Structure 1
Amino acid sequence: MKIFSIFLLMVIFCTCVRASDLEKEDRMRAQVADYVMDGEVVFLKSGLRDFLSIYMASEAQEVKGAVIILHGRGLNPNWPELVYPLRTGLTEYAWDTLSIQLPVLDNDASFYDYMDILHEAHPRINAAVEFLKQKNIKNIILLAHSCSVHTAVYWLYENPQGGVNGFIGIGMGSTDTGQPMRKPFPLDKIYIPVLDIYGENDFPSVRNNAARRLNHTQQAGNTKSLQQVIPGSDHYHSENNAILLREIVDWLESL
């Protein structure tokens, strides 16, 4: 009876632990990979599985480094609204880009659901860094938008020697209504340069926590860290992709 009870508890626990939707990711991968016109589709290894990434090399004579790009919740590494303009646009300013597919859930999944699988993406960031290092790229910047900022920040916090020299967070603090962040970003413990950039008309969860983020970033003490607001822009910067790119490039050039 005791053994059966332990077994039953294990079954209940296992069914409660959330995992990403691999079948959905495979479908997305097939749809996206065939339509990549700019850049090279590469499959990086994370554990026993590989995952879709898009690498685009700059044609500049002297490349300044590479930017790893993390897309928003449930999207893909070639998302046309924000990811594509950045992954292609940065190459025009002497930066290689590597846009990677993050784990996804079903369409009804909430912010808290995605927080439950946050660490599934960490080995993918490790694989992206290693891929760039194998290309002898040493100056690596991590860029994340929306929900993936949570993934990126905690990867940086847990991997202070992870090989990344700067972080760009676009729309930091994005959550769902009624699902606030369980704890603030540990930006006071992230000592590399941080660009916290968001829109004037961004989500309330992003705007309302801006002062706290700035305070914590300043506590980390890196003088190259910056918080920037794009006037008139929303969370997705739909009409301001060129301005967003220019602000990011200006900050990168200040490092």
Structure 2
Amino acid sequence: MSPLLRPTLLALCLGLCLSPTLHAEETPAAEQPASDSAAAKDAEGGEDKSTDKPAEVPRVPLDERTSAEAGALERQLPQTEQQQLQAGDERFLALWKPANAAEATGVVILVPGADETADWPSVIGPLRTKLTNAGWSTLSLTLPDSPAAPLPTAILPQPIVVAPPVDTSAAASQEQDPASADKPAADAAAAPVAEPAPAAPPVDPAVRVFARIEAGIAYAEQQGAQSIVLLGHGDGAYWAALFLAEKKPTQVENLLTVAAHLPAGQQPPLEELIPGLKLATGDFFYKDQASDRSDAVKRLQASKRLAHPSYVQVALKALPGNNDAEQEQLYRRIRGWLDKQLPAKK
């Protein structure tokens, strides 16, 4: 064999020996894209699953605090005292106690103060029980939660706006090509402007309160009440007086107020509202409390200016630390006014 052919023959033999190995190594490489594509698909599928947002759960409104406390009263008090009255589209708890007499003089409807229950330990609870011994049936209402006082409007500092520098080159190009300068303005004019959503109208608390007082009056009439007296405590005195001023129910001719208080954000003031009713009114206040005393003076002066025929103020003495004596004092004063205005039948 020629010496020149030996290197060529040697290279040919090496090529034939290495070709199976190269083929075996290239086969997995060819299969690699398929496996990679499958893995990529799995990854894409997993990414899609992770980006799926869970369905939003509708938010359930919380129960009012007075409703929760009314539920507690339902578990504590006898079923015979509990009445579920209908006021518009809602039901509420009222506590009924018949008079301890052969024939009741009438019904006293008790309107609690702000966030008080129908059996509140001050004023409402003691009177609803004690007045039954004086020949009066009582019906104590549950009012909605008192509205929160409006927050003051926050005044924020105006942000400082810095004008960007003018690009003279862009201005020059716009002068050369006016069509391109008009295009952004046309696009801005064509873009729809999102209108802000209208604010929800505020709910007037008087609507719900009036509906409950009306339901109480209707229930008293069903019990054959010959006389109906509204008695309000704190904010409840304002709501009772406002109800009489706006609704003017013919069934109610007497009003009792205890420590009357004007709710935040409400009008008119009590010195205009209560004396202006021209109904038989017993205005009970605590003379030891400066705010109650000054407000009572305003109401008394207004009643004199209006020549109110049957407006009576009764001053009470606060007895801190002796709640039983304080509630007994209030009961005796209330009973004295009722006996004088609407004497019990013998």
Match in the other structure for 2:226: 138
Quick check: which has more Rg, 1 or 2? 2
Change (3 A) 1:207 1:233: farther
Change (3 A) 1:23 1:173: closer
Question: Residue 76 of structure 2 aligns to a residue in which SS?
Answer: coil
Counterpart Cα distance in 2 of 1:81 and 1:103: 18
Report whether the alignment pairs 1:207 with 2:248.
no
2:331 pairs, out of 234, 245, 254, with 245
Counterpart Cα distance in 2 of 1:22 and 1:216: 41
Change (3 A) 1:100 1:220: farther
Higher strand share: 1
Match in the other structure for 1:231: 317
Counterpart Cα distance in 2 of 1:162 and 1:34: 36
Alpha-carbon offset, residue 29 of structure 1: 1.9
- Paired residues of 1:119 and 1:151 also in contact (CA < 8 A): no
- Paired residues of 1:90 and 1:245 also in contact (CA < 8 A): yes
The percent identity for this pair of structures is 23
Change (3 A) 1:250 1:29: same
- Paired residues of 2:107 and 2:220 also in contact (CA < 8 A): yes
Report the aligned-residue RMSD: 2.8
- Paired residues of 1:42 and 1:54 also in contact (CA < 8 A): yes
Alpha-carbon offset, residue 173 of structure 1: 2.9
**Pairs within 5 Å for 1:12-161:** 22-37=63-78, 40-105=81-146, 109-110=148-149, 117-161=205-249
Structure 2 length-normalised TM: 0.59
Question: Residue 137 of structure 2 aligns to a residue in which SS?
Answer: strand
Structure 1: runs of 5 or more not aligned: 1-19
Structure 2: runs of 5 or more not aligned: 1-60, 152-202, 342-346
Instruction: Work out the number of aligned pairs and report it.
Output: 227
